[in-house]
Structure 1
Amino acid sequence: MWVIAKHESLQLLKSVKSILVLLFLLGCAYAGVSVTELLKSSFDMMHENDLSVSGSEAMVHSIGLSFAILIFGPLFAFILTHDVMNRDIEQRTMRFLITKTERQKIVLGKVIGHLIFWFTIITISYLLIFILSGYFSFLAFFQSASFISVFVGLALILSLIIKKPIFSSFISILLGIAFPILSFWAMFSDKWVLSVFKYATPYNYLEDDNMLFFVNFAFTTVYILLAIYLFRKKDV
């Protein structure tokens, strides 16, 4: 399982798409800090000696990165993870893996590898904010990590439902674009159907400065368990 996880994470870190995603997030982190520092120097809104605002100031410095993850995170996660299972199934390498290890360990190894990759680039992005501003928002960090993990879990299921990577790639782009739009629509809509949907979207658990983001980790766990069930039933 850990060998698979290491292989998946290293493959992601070396891919061109992943490097572009990292550079984009780093650029958003840098831009967010730059704008915040500009506003800080212009209006003198921050109070360095007031410990009560240090947490909120750290959140403000990470607003550029947080915004990028909320808007583009679903698309990036789907694009990078949509073929995590069906690629090996199509190339017949999955049969070799099944002879070497249990199916549930294959699923866990692959999803852990992708989560390690995402936690790595999110950590790098928040460390850049810390280097530039001196602030590190642990709340924003864990909110971002929990948010991305949901879409990694969904993409994992997508890669098991759709056989061909070329088709899952197309659908992943559509889902990555549509999910944020539908989620924000549901959160601000008065229609009861959309109001029900909002409780299934990870955006709903990032509204307040509290620990509700743990719900997103629970969603991710459910999706991984569902993926394990689907893979056990799947003929490869």
Structure 2
Amino acid sequence: MTTIASGIARKIDGILFDKDGTLFDFNATWNVWAQTTIHDLAGGEPATMARIALEIDFDLENGRFNPQSPVIAGTNREAAECMGRALPERSIEEIEYLLMMSAAEAPLAPAVPLAAFLEGLAAQGIALGVMTNDTEYGARSHLRSAGVEEHFDFIAGFDSGHGAKPAPGPLLAFARHVSLLPERVVMVGDSTHDLLAGRAAGMQTVGVLTGLAGHDDLAPLADAVLPDIGHLPAWMLA
């Protein structure tokens, strides 16, 4: 069934957003966090910092993640396991906890003014959700800090009991939660993990360029690739 918004047909009735690189610009948020976290975990010791950076594919000299870094689309646990290879004296559980707590305090750089953007979508009766491979604790902390937690009908991390992307489980959990057929939902993300999960769930998929992946990386898996989430309203009605 086609939904009519203000007399114009629209493509979807629900939007499930990735968090990092989608709601928040990846480079402006996570490059700063990574530099600080590597320094803190290594106690400022240059050789240890270099080992950690190598394991997570972070360019220390230029202060940025390389596009192929396993941390970009991975879970908090996977990031801890990568860093743990450079810190054999520390448990993965300890590193995982430290990452969760520090990530919750990461400096946020919204991709667009989020409150007004989300209010505009909700006013059209669109169900809104967030699914991230970060922890649910981190997701809620970031959304609360940005003043938009209450705008979402569904918030899940990799540890919320539905699984992690690129598996479709958490996406289907959102569709069930808001009583929508998957084909009436769009998965919006900045990585191939997001889009693979969307395809597997039978959803529409939109890639955005506020992460590290380029247009050519996302286009084969996306119904559209947009500069940022601010272009979604026009896409919905195109």
Q: TM-score, normalised by structure 1?
A: 0.27
Q: TM-score, normalised by structure 2?
A: 0.27
The structure, 1 or 2, with the larger RCO (C-alpha pairs under 8 Å, 6+ apart) is: 1
- Greater strand content: 2
- Greater helix content: 1
